[in-house]
Structure 1
Amino acid sequence: HFASAYTASPVCVPARCSLIHGQYPPKLSCFDNGDPMPDDRPSLMHLLTEAGYRTHGIGKMHFTPDLQALRGFQTREYQEEIRRRVEDDDYLKLLHANGFEHVHDPFGVRGEMYYVPQPAQMPASLHGTNWVGDRAVEFLSAAPASEPFFLFASFIHPHPPFSPPTPWHKLYRAPLMPLPKRPDNCEALHTYVNRVQNRYKYRDNGLDNNLLRVMKAYYYACISFVDLQVGRMLKALEDTGRLDDTLVVFTSDHGEFLGDYNCFGKRSMLDAAAAVPLLMRYPERFPGGGRCETPVSAVDLMPTILQAAGLDTAPHDLDGIDLTGVVAGESSDRTLYGQYQCEARGVYMAVNRRWKYFYSAPDRREFLFNRVQDPEETRNRAGLVFCRQELEQMRS
């Protein structure tokens, strides 16, 4: 369990771009969802395919500018969150074949309903999360024992709208859900980007605590339904005798405020949006039940996977490192970086074991948090005289 894992950028496309190329956004010129991914260097999938691995992608990839691109995969099964032509999306084909062609937003109604929790419009057996699980289990069960493989199974949920299937939407009782973390003067911790995107404050009546609790219950339900599919995949690996010689990685492209700091969405360097889950299972390299507190990044996944596959390097400079060494205690003093947008619109982050710093160019504001004394990130110390040395160090 990598307990201090961070995205390279707290938004879908640049985060995924960094993950599959092992580089931070500035080297990729990919800073927001509308930016194209580069074509002048190989992805993780390219290198594994060239090395003889059977490479397959299932679910959301969010490749730009072409959602249909393979980008090194030999094959893909398509499911993207934005409505597309049925012939371009394998999951939509399934819905149409089962009489659900009337469902316009299969992952939840967007627009003004984007942050309104809503039960899914199809049964659990046809839910998009279950479809990824079904396709992944079929791939793993059919994979020849003599052929190495790389499977990238990508779930859309728990991305908003939060729409778990019935009866999963009742798995967590809304009245028992904790309210968001809203420290005193929390809006002073917002950047310009947060204020612009923070359009879900429920009209003129402020934040509705009941709705916030339902939102969290549905969010948790979406995660639990994903967890079920991950368990099915692990069982398929166990049934085929490949569980202990397969590197399993579980992570996400970004976080979600979910009402914390009176914010919704992502696009922030606060942990609510920039921190991500990262679990790995591979007995040969990672001891079971271990916990690593050293900060790690999405850019570390490519070198870690390449090393596990017996490939020592990539043809371009990687910003990440093999996490096997980090688990062994190496690089404990490392500093990670993150970026959203660029130049005058950019938000730039540096983080190590003790401190997190980020600068919001549109606000011309600095933020500094002591990760040891203030893990909840409630107090910006950038203006404190006795933190001047740490501020200068992290700024540099």
Structure 2
Amino acid sequence: MKRKNILFIMADQMAAPMLPMYASSPVKMPHLSRLAAEGVVFDAAYCNSPLCAPSRFTLVSGQLPSKIGAYDNAADFPADVPTYAHYLRRLGYRTALSGKMHFCGPDQLHGYEERLTSDIYPADYGWAVNWDEPDVRPTWYHNMSSVLQAGPCVRTNQLDFDEEVVFKAQQYLFDHVREEGDQPFCLTVSMTHPHDPYTIPKSYWNLYSDDDIPMPHAPLAQSELDPHSQRLLKVYDLWDKPLPANKIRDARRAYFGACSYIDDNVGKLLQTLEDTGLAEDTIIVFSGDHGDMLGERGLWYKMHWFEMSARVPLLVYAPGQFKARRVKDAVSTADLLPTFVALAQGQLDAGLPLDGRSLLPHLQGERGHDEVFGEYMAEGTNSPLMMIRRGAYKFIYSERDPCLLYDLHNDPKEQEELSQLLAHQDLFTAFLAEARAKWDIPAIHHQVLASQRRRRFVAESLAIGKLKSWDHQPLVDASQQYMRNHIDLDDLERKARYPQP
């Protein structure tokens, strides 16, 4: 059987609970809504760390952050950690990345044969968290300017990036179909919207009116928040600084517009698959790295285990292969590596570590796993903050903060914390014992501190003297582009035309 191409599309900071494929929502996403209606939609998909780099390192490797040192947004991603790109190359796939993956360190490929763009974020260690000074707020941390300056725009850094990402991805598909042979591809297209800052061109802003925008549920008083939430408010400089209601609405409106912008770009990619005749032979997977609190519980951005921050969209569209269905089981983006290997008709290497589990049973309508483990050791923490999601329940575990327990089936908005209720004491005790058996918190704490200290030292050293950047530099050989005298003109024009005359 011919192996299918894989087009893996990612959005950044897209909160699953706000999307029309998951709930009644004003967000306009016709292309993704169609894929969801005809594909397999995962109703309880999670990231394994609610921050860009740690989540992505786990996504591409299928290993939990503490196993691979993915502690924060400046964590080094070791070159010897196998990724789905390594696996698929061994299976004969062409592998390419267009867009963001936030790889930190000197290896900027991690198995991809080529990266079509640079990254939008730096590849160095400059954003390392510092547990040695937990009360010092670094200048590069998020603040609330994204909300206070929310509104329509003409152009942004992020628009520049995503326009290039999609253009290069479309060009990759055109180039692929014009090449001889039938080698399958795995193309990852990773856009940076709807990540803050909350601003988007007027055409997307005007898709919505203020009346369309639901406001956050009444937040708890600061004093009633869990300790990690309180630290986050201080991290992004929101402590004792209430936001104007109109700016909260503006931020959410721009975010909805950015979701529609992502959908339009998905539509461009779908059209390119149709135009090139690749649609029938290509499996489409759509997901993201984490969500956005968007003012719910008084919180913004990500960095916590609440649903808005930790749940991600996940759908697989392959109508000839998998019937349309909804999957209620809890799964995670760590499951994508073994899933991609299964879709490519390959086998996992039994000698290599892996935390993710294949989603193939779920895709085929069979019983699959219903369990997610998560780890967070970055902004706002002073000790590891872990998560177990299984069945109806979510358990958030810390040795320094009170543990939290929620019943998501009966309380999807996580309004009632259950850990102190007598009726849930046996369940809470079992979760706590499981977490302590799974995670050696003192050992992980020591590893995180040691990594932070090494990276701070190296970053400060490399800032002195001549700068040698690790940022990926996409190379273009202009001598092989367009029309050149060493290439026969008729032959060039014939090969560049699709379909060929």
Which interval holds the TM-score relative to the shorter structure? 0.7 to 0.9
1:18 correspondence with 2:58: yes
- Counterpart of 1:292 in structure 2 is 327
- Counterpart of 1:381 in structure 2 is 418
- Shift of the 185–360 alpha-carbon distance from structure 1 to 2, 3 Å rule, reads farther
1:54 correspondence with 2:94: yes
1:72 correspondence with 2:111: yes
Structure 1 residue 337 displacement after superposition: 0.5
- Counterpart of 2:391 in structure 1 is 353
Following the alignment from structure 1 to structure 2, what is the Cα–Cα distance between the partners of residues 39 and 281? 31
Q: Residue 30 of structure 1 is aligned with which of 42, 45, 70?
A: 70
Q: Residue 113 of structure 1 is aligned with which of 145, 152, 157?
A: 145
Structure 1 residue 339 displacement after superposition: 0.6
Unaligned ranges ≥5, structure 1: 85-109
Secondary structure in structure 2 of the residue aligned to 1:137:
helix
- Counterpart of 2:166 in structure 1 is 133
Following the alignment from structure 1 to structure 2, what is the Cα–Cα distance between the partners of residues 188 and 202? 15
- Counterpart of 1:146 in structure 2 is 182
Following the alignment from structure 1 to structure 2, what is the Cα–Cα distance between the partners of residues 384 and 299? 32
1:245-272 alpha-carbon deviations (Å, 9 max, x no partner): 2121111101111100001121101111
- Shift of the 125–331 alpha-carbon distance from structure 1 to 2, 3 Å rule, reads closer
Q: TM-score, normalised by structure 1?
A: 0.85
Structure 1 residue 204 displacement after superposition: 5.7
Following the alignment from structure 2 to structure 1, what is the Cα–Cα distance between the partners of residues 158 and 394? 43
Contact 2:144–2:238 (CA<8 Å) still a contact in 1?
no
Contact 2:361–2:368 (CA<8 Å) still a contact in 1?
no
Q: Which amino acid aligns with 1:130?
A: E
1:273-319 alpha-carbon deviations (Å, 9 max, x no partner): 1111111112344213x111111101111111111111111351221
1:353-380 alpha-carbon deviations (Å, 9 max, x no partner): 21110023342x1100011110111111
Q: Residue 302 of structure 1 is aligned with which of 337, 353, 363?
A: 337
- Counterpart of 1:100 in structure 2 is none
Structure 1 residue 129 displacement after superposition: 2.5
- Counterpart of 2:18 in structure 1 is none
Secondary structure in structure 2 of the residue aligned to 1:72:
coil
- Shift of the 320–70 alpha-carbon distance from structure 1 to 2, 3 Å rule, reads same
Contact 1:198–1:263 (CA<8 Å) still a contact in 2?
no
Structure 1 residue 179 displacement after superposition: 0.5
% same residue: 30
Q: Between the two structures, name the one with larger relative contact order (CA 8 Å, sep ≥ 6).
A: 2
- Shift of the 123–193 alpha-carbon distance from structure 1 to 2, 3 Å rule, reads closer
1:337 correspondence with 2:390: no
- Shift of the 152–194 alpha-carbon distance from structure 1 to 2, 3 Å rule, reads farther
Following the alignment from structure 1 to structure 2, what is the Cα–Cα distance between the partners of residues 37 and 125? 24
- Shift of the 390–12 alpha-carbon distance from structure 1 to 2, 3 Å rule, reads same
Unaligned ranges ≥5, structure 2: 1-40, 124-141, 435-501
Larger radius of gyration: 2
Tell me the C-alpha RMSD between the 2 structures.
2.7
1:2-36 alpha-carbon deviations (Å, 9 max, x no partner): 01000010011110001111111122121211211
Q: Residue 156 of structure 1 is aligned with which of 181, 192, 204?
A: 192
- Counterpart of 2:82 in structure 1 is 42
Deviates more, 1:4-13 or 1:207-216: 207-216
Following the alignment from structure 1 to structure 2, what is the Cα–Cα distance between the partners of residues 173 and 158? 18
1:311 correspondence with 2:339: no
Structure 1 residue 198 displacement after superposition: 4.8
Structure 1 residue 328 displacement after superposition: 4.0
Contact 2:62–2:337 (CA<8 Å) still a contact in 1?
yes
Secondary structure in structure 2 of the residue aligned to 1:31:
coil
Q: Which amino acid aligns with 2:417?
A: N
Q: Which amino acid aligns with 1:319?
A: D
Secondary structure in structure 1 of the residue aligned to 2:403:
strand
Q: TM-score, normalised by structure 2?
A: 0.68
Following the alignment from structure 1 to structure 2, what is the Cα–Cα distance between the partners of residues 138 and 126? 18
Following the alignment from structure 2 to structure 1, what is the Cα–Cα distance between the partners of residues 152 and 274? 33
Contact 1:191–1:360 (CA<8 Å) still a contact in 2?
no
Q: How does 1:220-369 map to 2 (within 5 A)?
A: 220-288=256-324, 290-314=325-349, 316-331=352-367, 334-341=370-377, 345-363=383-401, 365-369=402-406
Q: Which amino acid aligns with 1:81?
A: I
Secondary structure in structure 2 of the residue aligned to 1:215:
helix
1:206 correspondence with 2:245: no
Q: Which amino acid aligns with 2:405?
A: L
